[in-house]
């Protein structure tokens, strides 16, 4: 499905809106309990999609996607470190 | 100034911040902003303002400029930052999402382009001066 990544009016990123509609996300927030199986299944889902994407992308698009995933990972690490820093020690 | 907020400690002391919060609310209400007030446990008040176009809803929750007015030892601190309308903390459902810092930054940029943070600090400062016992 071809859905825009950015809101045309405000330019705000819409990807999170799509995330909360996904069954995999709904399952996690419903019970708040993450089992090993759920984590493994999600890992496999991501790997499968990345393989599909790698095959589908042109070399130019793949280079952009690789950089985008890398920067997203950096953002994720920043968030994790910030949360860690602001959390009280157990 | 924080990452996505503007803060100023104003050297005026008021017995009750409620009238200041009311002034800030009234100021933005007159400009057709949706406004609401919540109490802060430390004795302060938070005013949330929002208007379509600048403040987008994220996963069904309304983003807003939250203006916190809190008494401190040497005056009153006013903090204007992006948050959720009528809520003092960003809900966990949002912080779980990978891109929420991006969205908060985008909304903050829009608020800053409209000088809303500076306007909020200025209005609060004027009101604090007017209500101050000093």
Write out pLDDT tens, residues B80-129.
999 999 998 888 778 888 888 888 888 899 899 999 999 999 999 999 99
Radius of gyration of chain B (CA): 14
Angle value at C-alpha B125, between B123 and B130, nearest 5 degrees: 95
* Any A CB within 8 A of B101 CB: yes
> In chain B, what residues touch A15 (CB-CB under 8 Å)?
98-99
In this structure, of A53-57, B54-58, B114-118, the range with the lowest mean pLDDT score is: B54-58
Tell whether the model's pLDDT for residue A30 goes beyond 90.
no
Question: Average pLDDT in the B61-87 region?
Answer: 93
- By the CB < 8 Å criterion, does A9 face chain B? yes
B101 closest CB neighbour out of A15, A20, A79: A79
* 8 Å CB contact of A16 and B107: no
Is A44 within 8 Å of A24 (Cβ atoms)?
Answer: no
Give the pLDDT confidence score for residue A90 in this predicted structure.
Answer: 43
Residue B51 and residue B86 in contact, taking contact as beta carbons nearer than 8 Å: no
Residue B57 has pLDDT above 70, yes or no: yes
CB proximity A16 to B under 8 Å: yes
Task: Tell me the β-bridge partners of B70.
Answer: B77
Q: Which of residues 43-82 of A touch B (CB under 8 A)?
A: 72, 75-76, 78-79
Selection from B129, B130, B127, B134 nearest residue B45 by Cα? B127
Share of chain A above pLDDT 90, in %: 48
In terms of pLDDT, which residue wins out, A70 or A38?
A: A70
Signed CA dihedral, A21, B87, B77, B56: sign only:
positive
| Inter-CA distances, A9 with B53, B54, B109, B134, Å | 8, 10, 15, 47
| DSSP assignment letter at A89 | P
């Amino acid at each position: 499905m071809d859905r825009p990544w950015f809101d045309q009016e405000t330019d705000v990123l819409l990807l999170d809106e799509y995330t909360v509609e996904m069954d995999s996300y709904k399952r996690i927030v419903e019970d708040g309990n993450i089992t090993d199986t759920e984590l493994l299944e999600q890992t496999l889902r991501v790997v499968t999609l990345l393989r599909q994407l790698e095959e589908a992308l042109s070399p130019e698009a793949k280079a952009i996607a690789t950089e985008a995933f890398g920067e997203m990972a950096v953002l994720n690490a920043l968030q994790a470190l910030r949360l860690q820093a602001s959390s009280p020690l157990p | 100034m924080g990452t996505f907020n503007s803060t100023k400690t104003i050297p005026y002391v008021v017995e009750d911040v409620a009238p200041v919060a009311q002034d800030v609310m009234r100021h933005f209400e007159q400009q057709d902003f949706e406004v609401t007030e919540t109490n802060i446990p430390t004795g302060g008040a938070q005013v949330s303002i929002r208007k379509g176009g600048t403040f987008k809803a994220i996963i069904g929750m309304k983003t807003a400029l939250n203006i916190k007015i809190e008494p401190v030892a040497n005056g009153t601190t006013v903090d204007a930052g992006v948050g959720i309308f009528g809520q003092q903390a960003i809900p966990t459902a949002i912080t779980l999402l990978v891109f929420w810092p991006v969205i908060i930054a985008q909304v903050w940029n829009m608020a800053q382009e409209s000088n809303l943070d500076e306007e909020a600090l200025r209005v609060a400062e004027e009101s604090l001066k007017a209500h101050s016992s000093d």
